[in-house]
Structure 1
Amino acid sequence: MRSLVVLPEDRPCAPCAPSLPPQRPKGYCRPLPPARKRPPSVLWRRFRIGMALAGMAGLAGAGAYAWFRTDLPAQVSLLTQNLLGEAGAEVDLKVNDVNLTGRVNTPLKALVSAVGVERGDPILSLDLDAVRRRVEAIGWVKQATVWRQLPDTLHIEIVERQPFARWQIDGRIYLIDQEGRVLEEDDRPEFAHLLLLVGAGASDRAHDLMAMLQTDPVLARRVVNAVRVRGRRWDIQFDNGVVARLPEENPEQAWARLIALEQKEGLLRRDIQLVDLRLEDRLIVRLNPEAEPPTPVAAPAKKPSGKRT
């Protein structure tokens, strides 16, 4: 058998020779791959989520307690207003004009006192909600809207209550609306045509009384005043001085009865002083003391029968 002989020119050159990995030193150990972390159990994850939620709830509760049980909101509001006021003063944002709309009967002096704003006050530091509450505390004002218009104008718009009747108690006369709310303590001449209610509790029942009277507008216009007797019933006085006493229960029925008597018999046009309607089965009428007694009518003479005895 012929032996294989490799000549030098048949040996691969260094660039063409295959690269072999470097020999490892003795005692070398291949490192193990990093150990994979074991995922947390479902119970542990729920426990951590519960603890986080409990912590958030505790913080929210502590914040709510501090907010509602202490004066923290007022302090924050005051601090904010002071900061805004200082900032507005530095840039010269001050009140120069107050625009008021909706006023008809509300006294201007009362409005100026309630607003409490003077020209030159920092406009950004104004507590608009406090201004609104003070304006709505005036009897005439039903609703108020307050807003600022930078750089220097404060707007106030009010909705007034409507005068409904006059209420006399303890020698004083008050103007009230249909809900019985006192508008002012005064007896202005322009409201002299309104119905005068007298007595304790009369203002609270004003709306019900007016609804009853308006069932006959013609007769209602003749009513001058209504007296609340012991807080239970009404005495109605008409323009000719006649007083109608209504019962405590079912006054509407008695008023309808009076309307029928006036339309059929002209009862209130007679020379009487009082009509008592408190009893359902009878009518009591009191004449004026100065009224002349009715002229007696003579009975007609009987004709002779013509028979002779």
Structure 2
Amino acid sequence: MHAVTYFDGEAWRAGTAGLVDGRVRLSDLEPTADPPRLDGVISGGYTDHHVHLQLVDHMLLAGSTLGRVVDLGANPEVVVRLGAGAVDIAFAGAFLTPVGGYPSDREWAPAGSVREIADADAAAVAITEMADAGARRIKVASNAHAGPVFDDALFRTIVELAAARSLPVVAHTEGRGQAQRAARLGATQLAHAPFTERLDDAEIAEQAASVSWISTLAIHSGADLTIALDNVRRFHAAGGILRYGTDMGNGPTPVGLNAGELAALRDAGLDDTALLQALAPVDPLDPASVLLFFPGATPATADPLHARPLTADDLKV
């Protein structure tokens, strides 16, 4: 048994770690005696909140420091069958988009990963299918730069139908006014930090009060990156909830932790604790959780890039 310091997703806590059937298990019970202290700190495996597993070799996740990934656009019949070791896979299923809307015309979109929605009846059928397949959220495309977007009434209907199945709506927004419109119509998360327009401070405050943002900063360059960083910097300062996400599969992104995304989040003003909160580690007290070890680190020096899986050998006295 070792005394340990671990990150519970929001803050650092004291606990103990020991071996159970040869595997490391973490407890939130503080040691009552004076056991040896682990030289380093612990967290659960990180979460990438925006991936596309059909566009990468998903089996590489098993060797990464990710403990959970959220697929935001895939054929539900395919993604539900995927496995990646101890990494939890959550998914939204297919993009829901208007007829002719983004990304229905994109060559990179696998068959079955986009559902064109003409009306409320079609939306009901699609959401039922995604929910029955095991989706944990619904993805809506609202890209005014690349085709039509849903009118307000149909967008609200999709949100209501999803809510009836206890599914939040994640919106891909591009184009002037689309981020604000999605938030106003009931989306609870933006799949990308807004990058096509600078939101004013009042709009940032409204966003911070109503939706969370998935970062995906490292996929951008030039003006898009400048705009996104400025928006994220002010959103974070306003108390908005940021979630680490990379749009994995969008170009040559790593299948694992993305150093470029972490660097961009630091550029946007996230300190060490805020960065770990954005990474939303899986509950380290869950017996199925991937446990990460930051050798020799303290809470003040725990760099996510320096973590590795915790092993039984780390608990040897």
Look at both structures and tell me which one has the larger radius of gyration over its CA atoms: 1
Bigger relative contact order (CA 8 A; separation at least 6)? 2
Q: Which band: TM-score by shorter chain?
A: under 0.3
The TM-score normalised by the length of structure 2 is: 0.19
The TM-score normalised by the length of structure 1 is: 0.20
